[in-house]
Chains A and B, each alone.
Chain A
């Protein structure tokens, strides 16, 4: 039986009518049309679906939607927009940390969660925080450089 689920998405309160077994990724992509969050492996192995729930990075593809009842969910759409690019996104662009772009939203959300907790992460800490996000194009070097760059302009984050 479908029921109403209330939570906050990118700063806005929403109510969606969903099934008991609906997963967060499907609420985001299918119900709310927020297609920035990607479906990769569908089993928590690639991180393309990473979103931030109450400050913690989670894999939305294996996250029951009912877990976010009353929570704050942040997706890449809430990070920045084409007009107002978030400093972290700016760093990804400037450092060339984007190739095909499919892993990028997940990378950004993992990096965002890290920078909210750790003001000056070193390379080891960045790698550990991004280890759950697979990229099949770039080899990660530029992505790590981008996160370092963003950490350097913390006052804007």
Chain B
């Protein structure tokens, strides 16, 4: 519940309202998560600052890497031909969120700030080594997506004084690499992931060896989780299916999913991690144009 509703047209205006309320006003974008939390009584604040009227924060452009405005919707991401070509993991993942009605309204910024451990857009963005720009009344700062999360859950961003404005990353295709996303849920729509994973593979100059690999999985920890041991195993070795099998096994061992009546047992989801990480590695390899 809230008692005031603001719809500023400009960022400065939004920041001014937040300052005025000194922590009692909260930023809202599409509201697809926030309204549900409000209705359940999980959260409450005095004023809602709906930022979706700030039109300049909705874009996907290529300019020294890819830049995405925080108010870009999941539908925008899923339909972007630029992302389809240069970061298909993100376009695919965005297309899996909720339903069309949710994707039309929910924003990429909201997906990140809401900090669900298996947020479908945040998982590939973390694998893409994305950086978030956060603006407050005292200025702007850039934070690697990975550093945005508290290890215990949630983000370091304060939605009562700060606004996430932009996400940037260097597309793997610019470095000859590839990306992929994999997901399993109970149904094909309107269903949270039982497991999801995104991978990025970057080749060395010789094209035969892996220069860098990033594997991010959810929900296997309180926040999106990087399978660092699996990444290390891949780094410096030649691309091949056996190596991908080993890396997927390692990622599965690193994953610590909880037993959940809703999402399935830990053992089942560790097995899923093995299968989905392997398939995603193969897919990312193919995305490299091999």
Residues on A close to B: CB < 8 A? Answer: 1, 20-21, 23, 42-47, 50, 56-59, 62-64, 66-67, 69, 110, 128-129, 131-134
Contact = CB atoms under 8 A, between A and B. Distances in A.
B105 A47 contact: no
B36 A132 contact: no
Contacts of A57: 100-101, 104
B141 interface: no
A134 B190 contact: yes
Given A63-B31, A64-B31, A21 B5 contact: yes
A66 B190 CA distance: 25
Interface of B: 1-5, 7, 28, 31-32, 35-36, 38-39, 47-48, 50, 52, 75, 98-102, 104-105, 188-190
22 contacts: A20-B3, A20-B5, A21-B3, A43-B36, A44-B98, A44-B99, A46-B190, A47-B99, A47-B101, A57-B101, A58-B104, A62-B32, A62-B36, A63-B35, A64-B48, A66-B7, A67-B52, A110-B100, A131-B100, A131-B190, A132-B102, A133-B99
Contacts of B190: 45-46, 131-132, 134
A132 B1 contact: no
A99 B122 CA distance: 40
A21 B2 contact: yes
B98 A58 contact: no
A62 B31 contact: yes
B50 A64 contact: yes
Nearest to B7: A66
Contact of A44 (B1, B7, B102): B102
Given A20-B48, A56-B104, 9 more contacts: A1-B4, A20-B5, A20-B47, A44-B99, A46-B190, A50-B101, A62-B35, A64-B31, A110-B100
A56 B52 CA distance: 15
Nearest to A134: B190
Contacts of A64: 5, 28, 31, 35, 48, 50
A57 B100 CA distance: 7
Nearest to B104: A56
Would you list the 7 A-B pairs with minimal beta carbon distance, nearest first?
A: A132-B99, A131-B189, A20-B5, A62-B35, A56-B104, A59-B101, A132-B101
B2 A67 contact: no
A109 to B, nearest CB: 9
Given A21-B5, A66-B50, A44 B104 contact: no
Nearest to A42: B39
Nearest to A113: B100
A131 B191 CA distance: 11
Contacts of A43: 36, 39
Nearest to B105: A58
Contact of A129 (B39, B100, B188): B100
A132 B4 CA distance: 30
A132 B99 CA distance: 5
A17 to B, nearest CB: 14
Contacts of B5: 20-21, 64, 66
Nearest to A51: B101
B102 A59 contact: yes
B39 to A, nearest CB: 7
Given A66-B5, A131-B188, A23 B35 contact: yes
